[in-house]
Amino acid sequence: MPTALAKELCDEFLDDVYALPHGEKLKQCLQCGTCSASCPSSAAMEFGPREIIASLRAGMLDRVLNAQTVWLCVSCYSCTVRCPAGIPLTDVMYELKRLEVDKGLAKDATGETMAHAFAETVDRYGRNAETTLLRKYFLRTNPLHALAQIPLAIRLFVRGRLEIFPRKIKGLDSLHKMLAAIEENGRR
Amino acid sequence: MITTASHACRYGYYPGCSLMATNRAYDISTRSVARELEIELVELDDWNCCGATAYLPVREKRAFVLSARNLALAEQNGRELATVCNACYVVLRKTNKYMAEDAHLRDDIRQALQAGGMDYSGSVRVRHFLEILVNDVGEASIRSRVQRNMSGWKVACYCGCQLSRPFDDLDHPEYPRLMERLVEWLGAAVVPFPLAAKCCGGMAMTTHPETGQVLTGKILKVAGQRGAGCVATACPLCQINLEAYQDKVGRAVGARCAIPVLYFTQLMGIAFGMPPVELALSDNLTSLEPLLGEKVTS
């Protein structure tokens, strides 16, 4: 990504973050590192949430997008409750994920594929259907990994815990009207 | 401290998608325990997915509309909405809170609901069933139902992350006590368990298995080290992560991770002397038979 474009996108993105409830508090980050130290998956990240904020404030959004970081956030809210500046970091991570989805920039295929497969399943049936979701997910990522899931699927099946045919909610048409109406109101 | 049992006995009930199949034992045991305690759980008619944590990365407002439709359904029946899934609890509460705080967001969401012939004024209170049991039903009522001597049960109370985070007004965000208090009332021993609110990895068990396995493994390993005979859970995703991959996660953390895992509602039902079938104990992937001293048949 050219630097100028990255800078422009970064400014646009920061405006989106500031529009989140309490998003303005990002400006008050003191770089203490509590977030990164609290993050259960930071060990697997190229760099943690503290460095994400530093990069964003330096206009280096491309650095964040190029790193294996954002999709490792498991939404446990540890950083959010511990942050001394009150930054809603989990929401910032969601905003970053949405940016990657929206611009087609996600480097981390598995997290994004899962989110998409989930949203499609819910859009179609009004509810999540785990068997359908996982079938979509493994077909799009690595079908061979699905084979490794077969023993567990059998253990669940014999206990009657696998739903083979997803059921639609009755009010699906009404729900679709609602989703179409909100879609007219911008990216978030 | 004895809490008096003056509770509202009727709640809207939002089971959530995972309780329909994979985690139906949580739904079955929740309804059984509620019946025993004379709590009326009225399932929302034609509820939809709350959006969970996986819809938010795609579209935030769409995810909020999904949750808001359920809140609108709940508002038609009363003001208290109970759920047992941590993810549903957080997402429904978050939607409620953000709608209350952000007028623009509220208007957008209400317009969307109206486009589908519904509306939500914001009056519903979203609650986790565990918290209802402790705060509304209370100690005396729960103790009075206990039939079985639970003194030999050593329980690691694992609440998971989203029960007390980010909403920490009901319990400590990192060292939650709600489940421990409840389990003590059942007469079981609570083992000190500092990982009670650490994350099991959630969806990462599928999307980033090498990360998810370590997180779940640590929880099971520490529970074993602390002398627990079982782990009690309050979230369907935690339950499946903890019960389904014990061999793999054991290898990931280099420790033996074989330990029975059950929902806190199943533990309550056992203490209340309810038959295994009413708690769907045969659904569990880890065997509870050594703890129960009897066969579990479906």
CATH code (residue A60): 1.10.1060.10
Q: How many CB atoms lie within 10 A of CB B219?
A: 29
Amino acid type, B201: G
Q: For A155, which of B18, B198, B285 is closest by C-beta distance?
A: B285
B93: containing domain: 10-129
One domain for residues A51 and A118: no
Q: How many CB atoms lie within 10 A of CB B51?
A: 29
One domain for residues A21 and A95: yes
Chain A nearest CA to B178, separation (Å):
18
DSSP class per residue in chain B = -PPP-----EEEEE--GGGGTTTHHHHHHHHHHHHHTT-EEEEPTT-----HHHHTTT-HHHHHHHHHHHHHHHHHH-SEEEE--HHHHHHHHHHHHHHHH-HHHHHHHHHHHHHTT----S--EEEEHHHHIIIII-HHHHHHH--S--TT-EEEEE--STTTSS--SSS-SSS--HHHHHHHHTTPEEPP-TTTTS---TTHHHHSHHHHHHHHHHHHHHHHHTT-SEEEES-HHHHHHHHH-HHHHHHHHTS-----EEEHHHHHHHHTT--HHHHTGGG-SS--HHHHTS----
One domain for residues B163 and B272: yes
Structure tokens at B227: 């002398």
Determine whether the interchain pair A71/B207 forms a contact, defined as Cβ–Cβ distance below 8 Å: yes
Cβ-proximal residues to B10 (8 Å cutoff; 6+ apart), any chain: B39, B40, B42, B78, B80
Contacts of B111 in chain A (CB under 8 A): 181-182
Q: Which residue has the tokens 């990931």?
A: B252
Cβ–Cβ < 8 Å for B186, B264: no
Contacts of B235 in chain A (CB under 8 A): none
pLDDT computed for residue A187 by the predictor: 52
Determine whether the interchain pair A115/B54 forms a contact, defined as Cβ–Cβ distance below 8 Å: yes
Angle (deg, nearest 10), helices B246-253 and B236-244: 70
User: Rounded to whole angstroms, how far apart are CA atoms B7 and B140?
Assistant: 12
Q: Which residue has the tokens 């899934």?
A: B85
pLDDT computed for residue B295 by the predictor: 82
Cβ–Cβ < 8 Å for B210, A44: yes
Q: List Cβ<8 Å contacts ≥24 apart for A56-63.
A: A56/A10, A56/A13, A56/A14, A56/A17, A56/A26, A57/A26, A57/A29, A59/A6, A59/A7, A59/A10, A59/A11, A60/A6, A60/A10, A61/A6, A61/A7, A61/A9, A61/A10, A61/A13, A62/A1, A62/A3, A62/A6
Substitution target in A128, A170, A173 with the highest count of B β-carbons within 10 Å is: A128
Choosing from A103, A121, A149, the residue where a domain stops is: A103
pLDDT computed for residue B2 by the predictor: 47
Q: For A119, which of B55, B244, B285 is closest by C-beta distance?
A: B55
Choosing from A80, A103, A126, the residue where a domain stops is: A103
Determine whether the interchain pair B61/A80 forms a contact, defined as Cβ–Cβ distance below 8 Å: no
Structure tokens at B23: 């985690």
One domain for residues B121 and B92: yes
Is residue B24 a part of any domain in this protein? yes
Is residue A131 a part of any domain in this protein? yes
Residue of B nearest to A178 (CA): B112
One domain for residues A116 and A34: no
Determine whether the interchain pair A130/B18 forms a contact, defined as Cβ–Cβ distance below 8 Å: yes
Q: For B60, which of A71, A98, A127 is closest by C-beta distance?
A: A98
Determine whether the interchain pair A114/B62 forms a contact, defined as Cβ–Cβ distance below 8 Å: no
Contacts of A130 in chain B (CB under 8 A): 17-18, 21-22
- Maximum alpha-carbon separation in chain A: 57
Distances (CA, A) of B8 to A170, B41, B72: 30, 11, 21
Is residue A93 a part of any domain in this protein? yes
Residue whose C-alpha is closest to residue A130's, from A108, A102, A152 = A152
Determine whether the interchain pair B202/A76 forms a contact, defined as Cβ–Cβ distance below 8 Å: yes
Per-position pLDDT tens, chain B of length 298? 444 444 558 999 999 999 999 999 999 999 999 999 999 999 999 999 999 999 999 999 999 999 999 999 999 988 899 999 999 999 999 999 999 999 999 999 999 999 999 999 999 999 999 999 999 999 999 999 999 999 999 999 999 999 999 999 999 999 999 999 999 999 999 999 999 999 999 999 999 999 999 999 999 999 999 999 999 999 999 999 999 999 999 999 999 999 999 999 999 999 999 999 999 999 999 999 889 988 887 6
Determine whether the interchain pair A162/B51 forms a contact, defined as Cβ–Cβ distance below 8 Å: no
One domain for residues A150 and A95: no
Is residue A125 a part of any domain in this protein? yes
CB pairs under 8 A between A and B: 198
pLDDT computed for residue B30 by the predictor: 98
Residue of A nearest to B56 (CA): A94
Determine whether the interchain pair A44/B283 forms a contact, defined as Cβ–Cβ distance below 8 Å: no
User: Rounded to whole angstroms, how far apart are CA atoms B253 and B216?
Assistant: 9
Domain count, chain B: 2
Is residue B101 a part of any domain in this protein? yes
Is residue B70 a part of any domain in this protein? yes
One domain for residues B158 and B275: yes
User: Rounded to whole angstroms, how far apart are CA atoms A30 and B27?
Assistant: 44
One domain for residues A139 and A87: no
One domain for residues A92 and A78: yes
One domain for residues A92 and A22: yes
One domain for residues B153 and B108: no
Is residue B66 a part of any domain in this protein? yes
Residues of chain A with pLDDT under 70: 1-2, 185-188
Choosing from A79, A103, A127, the residue where a domain stops is: A103
Q: What are phi and psi of B73, to 5 degrees?
A: -60, -40
pLDDT computed for residue B142 by the predictor: 98
One domain for residues B81 and B163: no
One domain for residues B125 and B256: no
One domain for residues B280 and B173: yes
Determine whether the interchain pair B162/A75 forms a contact, defined as Cβ–Cβ distance below 8 Å: yes
One domain for residues B167 and B268: yes
Cβ–Cβ < 8 Å for A130, A88: no
User: Rounded to whole angstroms, how far apart are CA atoms B115 and B82?
Assistant: 27
Is residue B32 a part of any domain in this protein? yes
One domain for residues A145 and A60: no
User: Rounded to whole angstroms, how far apart are CA atoms B40 and B50?
Assistant: 22
Is residue B136 a part of any domain in this protein? no
Angle (deg, nearest 10), helices A89-103 and A3-19: 130
One domain for residues B271 and B181: yes
Choosing from B97, B129, B161, the residue where a domain stops is: B129
Contacts of A105 in chain B (CB under 8 A): none
One domain for residues B153 and B123: no
Q: What are phi and psi of B237, to 5 degrees?
A: -70, -40
One domain for residues A94 and A130: no
Q: What is the pLDDT of residues A23-73, one digit of tens each?
A: 999 999 999 999 999 999 999 999 999 999 999 999 999 999 888 889 999
Is residue B206 a part of any domain in this protein? yes
Kindly report the CATH number assigned to the domain that includes residue B248.
3.40.50.11810
Choosing from B103, B129, B155, the residue where a domain stops is: B129
Structure tokens at B158: 């694992």
Cβ-proximal residues to B107 (8 Å cutoff; 6+ apart), any chain: none
Is residue A188 a part of any domain in this protein? no
Is residue B244 a part of any domain in this protein? yes
pLDDT computed for residue A146 by the predictor: 87
Cβ-proximal residues to A37 (8 Å cutoff; 6+ apart), any chain: none
One domain for residues B189 and B263: yes
Cβ–Cβ < 8 Å for B120, B95: no
Substitution target in A161, A169, A182 with the highest count of B β-carbons within 10 Å is: A182
One domain for residues A94 and A116: no
Angle (deg, nearest 10), helices B60-77 and B86-101: 90
Distances (CA, A) of A166 to A125, B213, B217: 7, 28, 31
Determine whether the interchain pair A175/B283 forms a contact, defined as Cβ–Cβ distance below 8 Å: no
Distances (CA, A) of B100 to A183, B105, B117: 21, 9, 21
Contacts of A175 in chain B (CB under 8 A): 48, 66, 69, 116
Contacts of B204 in chain A (CB under 8 A): 41, 72, 74
Kindly report the CATH number assigned to the domain that includes residue B107.
1.20.1050.140
Domain count, chain A: 2
One domain for residues B220 and B182: yes
Q: For B202, which of A74, A78, A182 is closest by C-beta distance?
A: A74
User: Rounded to whole angstroms, how far apart are CA atoms B130 and B133?
Assistant: 5
A61: containing domain: 3-103
Residue whose C-alpha is closest to residue B283's, from B244, B251, B255 = B244
Choosing from B81, B101, B129, the residue where a domain stops is: B129
